[in-house]
Amino acid sequence: MPAQTQDKTEGAEGPRLYLVAPPVFEPGRTEALVARVLDAHDFACLRIAIAATDEDAILRAADALREVAHAREVAVVLETHLRLAARLGLDGVHLTDGARNVRLARKELGPDAIVGSFCGTTRHEGISAAEAGADYVALGPVGASGLGTGAVAGLELFEWWGEMIEVPVIAEGGLTPELVAELAPHADFLALGPELWREEDPLAALQRLTAPLG
């Protein structure tokens, strides 16, 4: 994960799911919650995005969640902290500043690591990240979300990306069943996280959001 994918309008399977872990890590509870969600659907990757700034807290959370994901053969990337990703034996890093640090991350983590980049709503930043060696580019938010600047990445951006760029694209931020149905033919991955964790029953939310995928 992520591998280059063919155009889904030409008969390929639909997008795979990409899970963003809860931002607050509660030992025992968070691992169990993430495990239940990973067991409920076929996920390609888990992104660990811990709100804590304390390095030890990040290390403990990432170490525990890595065990959960790798036991299920799900790749794990750590948001932003590329050197910690290497120390923890994770599969890669998810950058949040577009193309700026893609080359550095590749140099630090090596050719086999996953290097992904969030590029907001701009074609230019996404192309720059792809050219710098990103394995995937995340675009968003696609709906109402606190992600990025709040500007929405519309359907036309994903249509254009799918036609012009081979590097896989992730749609994230404010996904709804309606947006899942709309974006499924054009996105390689759909990132779910806040859409699940803010609900009393994350598994019910997951079922509702993935219903359009069949």
pLDDT tens-digit profile of 159-204?
A: 999 999 999 999 999 999 999 999 999 999 999 999 999 999 999 9
Q: What CATH class does 10-209 carry?
A: alpha beta
Mean pLDDT (the chain, rounded): 93
In the 8-state DSSP scheme, what is residue 41?
S
Q: Which residues contact 156 (CB under 8 A, 6 or more apart)?
A: none
pLDDT category of residue 9 using cuts at 50, 70 and 90: very low
- pLDDT tens figures, 35-94: 999 999 999 999 999 988 899 999 999 999 999 999 999 999 999 998 999 899 999 999
What's residue 3's pLDDT? 44
Where in the chain are the domains?
10-209
Determine contact, residues 85/57, Cβ cutoff 8 Å: no
Q: How many CB atoms lie within 10 A of CB 207?
A: 12
Q: Which residues contact 198 (CB under 8 A, 6 or more apart)?
A: none
pLDDT category of residue 12 using cuts at 50, 70 and 90: low
Residue 7 has pLDDT above 90, yes or no: no
Alpha helices in the chain (DSSP H): 29-40, 55-70, 82-88, 102-109, 123-132, 155-164, 177-183, 194-197, 202-210
What's residue 150's pLDDT? 76
Closest CA to 209 of 174, 171, 175, 173: 175
- pLDDT tens figures, 20-35: 999 999 999 999 999 9
For residues 9 and 149, give the distance between their C-alpha atoms in angstroms, rounded to a whole number.
30
